[in-house]
Amino acid sequence: MSEEGPDIGPVEGVGSVEHAYYERNEPLTGVVLLPGQEEHDTGEHPENIRRLPPVVKRLRESEDWEKLFVMHPRSAQIEDIARSHSDAYIESIRRADAEGPAWLDTDTMAGPGSFNLALRASGAALTAVDAVAMEAYWQPDSLFALIRPPGHHAPPDRAMGFCLFNHASVAARYAQATYPVERVAIVDWDVHHGNGIQDIHFDDPSVLYVSLHQWPLYPGTGSVDEVGAAEGRGFNVNLPMPPGSGDREYGEAFDAVVEPVLEQFDPQLLIVSAGQDGHAADTLSNQMISATGFRDMAARMAAFTDARGIGLVVLHEGGYNVSTLPQLDHAILGGLGSFPTDLKDVFAEGAAPAEGWSERLAEILSVQKEFWPGLES
Amino acid sequence: MTESADIRIAPVELTGRPASDGSDASGLLDAIAAAAKAGADLVLLPQLSFSLYFPALRDRGALELGERFPSPRMSAARQAATGAWLAASAYECVGEGVFYVTGELGSTSEGTVLTQRQHHIEAEAGRFEQMFISPGHEERSVARLPWGRTAMLVGADARCPAAWAELGRAGAGLVLVSVSETADGWHGIRRVAAGFSTIHGIAVCAVNRAPAPDEPDFAGGAFACDATGNEVTVDQSGLFHLSIPNLGASKDE
């Protein structure tokens, strides 16, 4: 150590940008990149190798790149995955990698490279958990793992809905096994219900799952009365959003349900399953969320974790319009890091109120009041 | 010495709008047939040749217009072209959530000899191209045809200098351009096409979408230039006569 103080240099293998992070006044956010994402090549499929490179390109070309804490992932170990998936299922993905390509369900494929990439994608989630949970001078407040394939549909014993390993669940259980973290909350704003996360944690009171999803829509699960089972009853909170829901409805859902439930649950780590397929220009849904809407949801989650001094890990799930995804992911980082990004969004302008939302919100509140008495009508 | 061959191209500015009973409401098939009858070797149609310009509307229902290829509408248009070749573009759906604007060049006897998806997706204010169209990602291809090596550029790709340069390097002798442009955009495309024609020694034939109700203010029009960038006019039958340099011949042999 020099006489002037600690000699702070770049942190080899952790972040690529040299900063005196400990002196910062602004929240520090960043990304976990996924090298080799093209190894899981699904061809002409909405979940394909062309989704994430434009996101990274936009970030790299932006002045905001220098503000971001940039990390590269390690691979998850089999024992990390086995906390959420059966051994037989993990082996089946390894076999598909070795002997495939093979269709694992009607819309999920795996082939050469898929197994290792899925391990690395889960590993990116674990890398993010490590970074926000370790008490280090360079500790970021939040990290956004830009990963694929997504994970939230994968139940314990099979692949489903483009997903192989359930990264959010794997990350939650890794945090509980590795750090003094007992309660983990997962907020999932992907437009599809994360049936896999729900299945894995349905009777688990230590992991709160809150999902905002278009309903009805694939996979068909996620009704308001799926509240958990046994000791986990009440810790599964579904907000089935009517088709056409946009910033207005999602904002009201956060105000009325998501944030009050999080407050009461008092998590020690917050994981967001961030699927941007509810955007107004995504071809797989009917929702009308704008770039501003995604920024606001991210900013709300960052404000929540900042107020509690806990870590925030954001995991990329869906989002299939490769033209608009870069702007949306950039907006999320802007929300996490409190810096402005381009939010002009012609696709969501003038979105009409979603039909049936008021009644749906009342129904959600009436069900959830049994478990979360602080909720107000 | 550079070899060359002649071709007669009929630009048809119309686009197809099927009526509720499935019939050809806009008369596109009749126009294609008339062009072939007038002696065209090739009939060239504008971008999204078989539908209204739905990317201008924020209506997700238009996603239902995506077709699995081979496109039935493309096949019907080729039938209408009888013995002539047809260069047109259709809305291709390759699976849930993945849509392209795809140009095809083919004939009833030879089938499809060239497929080119639109790579660059641009939207002006109040338009929604990025909502409906996935960017194409395949390498640009050049087809060897009786009159020479031929390529296609669809939509905003025609404004992209890198695309022209790529086709020039690939030895294209003729580039067929299929666009939907307002007056300013069409003016720009003509200038770009003539410029790259001169630089790369490529003959060009371009057709723009005709004005139609309920669509942006497309300018319509057709344009062609020879391999030195000199503009060519249509004959009395509405055909462009072009001499195509076979620049790739020496590379191939």
List, for residues B142-181, the tens digit of each pLDDT value.
999 999 999 999 999 999 999 999 999 999 999 999 999 9
What are the backbone dihedrals phi and psi of residue A182, each rounded to the nearest 5 degrees, phi first? -100, -40
Smallest CA–CA distance, residue A44 to chain B, in Å, is 7
Scored b (16 or more CB within 10 A) or e, B138-148 reads: eebebbbbebb
Q: Do A320 and B135 touch (CB under 8 A)?
A: no
* Cβ of residue B98 closer than 8 Å to a chain A Cβ: yes
Do A367 and A227 touch, CB atoms closer than 8 A?
yes
CA distances from A304 to A67, A264, A309, A341, B22 (A): 21, 12, 9, 21, 56
Please tell me the distance in Å from A282's CA to the nearest CA on chain B: 7
Calculate the average pLDDT of chain B.
91
What stretches of chain B adopt beta strand conformation (E)? 4-11, 42-44, 85-95, 98-107, 111-117, 143-145, 148-154, 174-179, 203-208, 221-225, 231-232, 240-245
pLDDT of residue A24: 66
Cis status of the peptide bond prior to A180, with omega within 30 of 0: no
Q: What is the model's pLDDT at position B4?
A: 81
Contact A246, A274 (CB under 8 A): no
Residue B199's region, left for phi above 0, alpha for psi from -120 to 50, else beta, is alpha
Q: Averaged over B171-194, what is the pLDDT?
A: 95
- For the beta carbon of residue B110, count every other beta carbon within 10 angstroms: 13
Give how far Cα B116 sits from Cα of A91, B153, B251, Å. Answer: 40, 7, 22
Separation between Cα atoms, residue A348 and residue A247, nearest integer Å = 9
Q: Which amino acid is at A331?
A: A
Any B CB within 8 A of A44 CB? yes
pLDDT tens-digit series, residues B78-94: 999 999 999 999 999 98
What residues in B contact A287, CB-CB < 8 Å? none
Q: List beta partners, residue A252.
A: none
CA distance B106 to B71: 12
- Distance of alpha carbon B159 from alpha carbon B187, whole angstroms: 11
pLDDT for residue A19: 43
A44: nearest CB among B63, B98, B131: B98
Which secondary structure element, helix H or strand E, spans residue A273, and what is its range? strand A269-274
CB spacing of A45 vs B95 below 8 angstroms: yes
Residue B22 has a pLDDT of 73
> A residues 54-113 near B, CB within 8 Å?
107
Amino acid identity, position B47: Q
- In Å, how far is A48's CA from the nearest CA of chain B? 10
Token pair 């402005």 in the structure block, residue: A340
Helix (H, G, I), strand (E, B) or coil at B156: helix
Which has the closest alpha carbon to A167: A133, A112, A130, A126? Answer: A126
DSSP strand pairing (B221-225 vs B203-208) = antiparallel
Q: Does B95 touch chain A (CB under 8 A)?
A: yes
A344–chain B Cβ distance below 8 A for any pair? no
Considering chain A, what percentage of its residues have pLDDT values greater than 90? 88
Listed by number, the residues of chain A in 238-297 with a beta carbon closer than 8 Å to a beta carbon of chain B are 280-284, 286
* C-alpha dihedral sign at A220, A240, A158, A152: positive
Q: Which helix (H) or strand (E) holds A97?
A: helix A87-99
Identify from A50, A342, A346, A349 which residue to disrupt to test chain B contact, counting B C-beta atoms within 10 A and taking the largest count.
A346
Are B98 and A281 inside 8 Å of each other by CB? Answer: no
CA B113 to CA B130: how far, in whole Å?
A: 28
pLDDT of residue A9: 40
Residue B126 at interface with chain A, using a CB cutoff of 8 Å: yes
| Residues in chain A within 8 Å Cβ distance of B132 | 283
Report, as an integer, the average pLDDT of B101-112. Answer: 97
Contact A346 B95 (CB under 8 A): no
**Per-residue pLDDT, A374:** 84
Q: For residue B128, give the nearest of A45, A286, A347 by CB distance.
A: A347
Number of A–B residue contacts, CB under 8 Å: 52
- The pLDDT, as a whole number, for residue B24 is 81
Q: Which of A44, A191, A214, A324 to mutate to test the interface with B (most CBs of B within 10 A)?
A: A44
pLDDT of residue A20: 43
The type of residue at A370 is: E
A46–B63 C-beta distance less than 8 A: no
Asked whether the beta carbons of residue A346 and residue B60 sit closer than 8 angstroms, the reply is no
Cβ pair A44:B97 closer than 8 A: no
| Nearest residue, CB atoms, A281 vs list B96, B125, B131 | B131
Burial of A247 (0-12, 13-18, 19+ CB in 10 A): buried
Task: Choose among A189, A191, A142, A150: nearest CA to A169.
Answer: A150
Q: Do A46 and B94 touch (CB under 8 A)?
A: no
Distance (Å) from the alpha carbon of B67 to chain A's nearest alpha carbon: 14
B63 interface with A at CB cutoff 8 Å: yes
Spell out the alpha helix ranges (H) of A186-231: 195-201
| Residue B210 Cα distances to A86, A280, A341, B73, angstroms | 60, 30, 38, 19
Question: Which residues of A form the catalytic set?
Answer: 153
Runs of H (alpha helix) within chain B: 28-37, 72-80, 129-132, 161-169, 183-200, 249-252
pLDDT of residue B14: 93
Within chain A, which residues score under 50 in pLDDT? 1-22
CA separation for the pair A168, B139 (Å, rounded): 37
A45:B123 CB<8 A: no
B61 contact A CB<8A: no
At B101 the pLDDT is 97
What local confidence, expressed as pLDDT, does residue B250 receive?
Answer: 41
For A327-344, how does the pLDDT look when each residue is reduced to its tens digit (9 = 90+)?
A: 999 999 999 999 999 999
Nearest C-alpha of chain A: how many angstroms from B129?
10
Chain A residues within 8 A of B99 when measuring between CB atoms: 283
Lowest mean pLDDT among A128-137, B160-169, B195-204, B211-220: A128-137
CB B192 within 8 A of CB B159: yes
pLDDT of A294 reads 98
| Spatial distance between the Cα atoms of B96 and A321, rounded to a whole number of angstroms | 12
Q: Chain B contacts of A282, Cβ < 8 Å? A: 97
Count of H-run helices and E-run strands, chain A: 11, 10
Residue A87 tokens read as 């051994």
User: How many angstroms separate the CA atoms of B86 and B117, rounded?
Assistant: 16
One-letter amino acid of B26: S
CA distance A246 to chain B (A): 15
* Interface contact flag, A48 B98, Cβ < 8 Å: yes
- For residue A149, whether the previous peptide bond is cis, meaning omega lies within 30 degrees of 0, is yes
